[in-house]
Chains A and B, each alone.
Chain A
Amino acid sequence: MALGNITCQVEPREFVSFVGPSGCGKTTLLMSIAGLIAPSAGKIIVKGREVSGPPGNLVLVFQEFNKSLFAWRSVLGNVRFGIDARGNRSRETEFKARSLIELVGLKGFENHYPWELSGGMQQRVAIARALAYEPEVLLMDEPFGSLDALTRLELEDTLLRLWGELGTTILFITHDIEEAIYLSDRVWVLSRRPSQIIEELRIDFPRPRSQVATRAEGRFMEIRNKIYRRISDEGAG
């Protein structure tokens, strides 16, 4: 069993992260919330309704962007995927897809195919595709886990900007403690299997945050060390 008893509640427009040791069942948790796998016990409730299949107002962004993009669709085609799936093919949706592509910084690449893009650009496409669907909740499973450090910082800021503009609720999974602190309103620390929430932290650095200033604050390091100690104590025990 990957997951123990996990009870948590996320508020609308909130950005929350789960951090935990690898293999602690973070992905299982997110897949259950996304309705892609059924929890063996317990309930997942999104907007007051129990999840029994993929809910319509919720989209998951996978870590493996190269496996989740549709190779036969162009960048525009990929971003339109979710909108097309809703049967909405008006001019307006085309406009929305294009403006999202611009927002994630891929203007000019609309007609490129995913394999022609770098990893960072591919993940931008995946994020634009998810947001074009206008989900109320965006689930992200270590979306920047396989990107290089610089691209990662850049995409963190892109994500924060989009989140600020679109007001989506985001549940973010990462094993990078600092990433979780930098992005989130709240951070939940998970234990090893069967994982449980062992710590909840409210992060109240003012927004917009800055990769330089926010991360340089003394309190940032304090929180980081606290979480790190919690996780490594777990490992010893």
Chain B
Amino acid sequence: MSNSKNFNWSGWLAFTLLLFLWEYGSRLSPKLQLYIPPISQIFIALGGLVFSGQLAVQLWITLVRFVEGYLLAAAIAVTLGVILGYLRFVHSFLEMLIEFLRPMPSVAIIPVAVLLLGIGDSMIVAVTVYASIWPVLVNTIDGVRHIERTLVDTGRTFGLSRREILWQVILPAASPYIVTGLRVSLSIALILVTTAEMIAGSKGLGFFILDEERSLHSSNMYAGIIVVAGLGYTLNRFFLTLESRAMKWRHGMSAREAA
């Protein structure tokens, strides 16, 4: 990623080139225009959708589902991760199960969720939670297990209770790992929300994109995709800002020292 101080000309050039290629490539063939309309038309469609408020509604629905699923997953995964990282016997009890479920493509759970929860918000949030749990869980376990014994003993020698040690020693010490998990889960959560909306939704950006495709409104479909892309980008940016603030103490620490 380029430094904010020097403007990344070549990066913006790549962007501009793509847009030009799109615009004029699409104009070359009227047949192609049906599937890939010129980018100018897509932006006009996007403008219309924004003005009618149609997109805002869909965006809000998707965003709420995302936030619910992501935060719920984070809370469950960190709690469970601390327990599993701490208690060997619980870990060995669940380890194989986790290693079996974790590599499974999470979208495969969507049919099950539809069967159990029907079509709607709770199903979409549930699959999002399911998929987003794994990276945070595995990283939290790892983080808690990597904590130096001496660090915990330091907390104890200063008379901290177990609860205080959890909040003031374990969680901050494991935070670099937890944050790594949270970052991975962020994109996973967005993928799952949109996918679930496409497969079994009646609202939301995922549904909107697929619905416009089926109605052959390809410009609207692309407009929806742009909004999802923008949402992903914004969420990621937001996360990185929060992260650099919370993890300020690690700035400048080399990889060796961080280990």
Interface residues of A (CB under 8 A from B): 31, 34-36, 54, 56, 58-60, 62, 64, 67-68, 70-74, 81-82, 85-86, 113, 115-116, 133
Contacts and interface: CB of A to CB of B under 8 A. Distances in A.
Q: Which of B153, B168, B175 has the most CB of A within 10 A?
A: B153
Interface stretch (B129-137, B158-166, B221-229): B158-166
Contacts of A115: 253, 257
Q: Which of B159, B250, B253 has the most CB of A within 10 A?
A: B159
Contacts, number: 59
B164 A72 contact: no
Interface in B175-213: 175
A70 B169 contact: yes
A72 B175 contact: yes
B156 interface: yes
9 contacts: A54-B158, A58-B157, A67-B148, A67-B151, A68-B150, A68-B151, A72-B249, A81-B168, A115-B253
Contact of B158 (A62, A64, A74, A85): A85
A178 B148 CA distance: 31
A68 B154 contact: yes
Contacts of B232: none
Contact of B172 (A68, A72, A82, A113): A72
Given A68-B150, A70-B172, 9 more contacts: A54-B157, A54-B159, A60-B157, A67-B148, A68-B154, A70-B151, A113-B249, A115-B257, A116-B252
Given A72-B172, A113-B249, A62 B154 contact: yes
A64 B154 CA distance: 11
Given A72-B172, A85-B164, A115-B253, A59 B158 contact: yes
A59 B157 contact: yes
Q: Nearest 4 A-B pairs (CB), nearest first?
A: A67-B150, A67-B148, A60-B157, A82-B158
B156 A54 contact: yes
Interface of B: 148, 150-151, 153-154, 156-160, 164, 168-169, 172-173, 175, 249-250, 252-253, 257
Contacts of B253: 71, 113, 115
Contacts of A72: 172-173, 175, 249
A58 to B, nearest CB: 8
Interface of A is mostly: loop
B212 to A, nearest CB: 47
Contacts of B151: 67-68, 70
A82 B156 CA distance: 10
B159 A64 contact: no
B258 to A, nearest CB: 8
Contact of B157 (A36, A67, A116): A36
Q: Which of B157, B172, B249, B250 has the most CB of A within 10 A?
A: B157
Contacts of B157: 34, 36, 54, 58-60
Contact of A64 (B150, B168, B169): B150
A62 B164 contact: no
Contacts of B172: 70, 72
A31 B153 CA distance: 9
B249 A71 contact: yes
A133 B249 contact: no
Given A70-B169, A71-B249, A133 B154 contact: no
Q: Which of B153, B158, B257 has the most CB of A within 10 A?
A: B158
Nearest to A133: B158
A36 B175 contact: no
A186 to B, nearest CB: 23
A73 B160 CA distance: 17
Contacts of B257: 115
B188 to A, nearest CB: 27
A72 B157 CA distance: 19
A202 B168 CA distance: 42
Contacts of A36: 153, 156-157
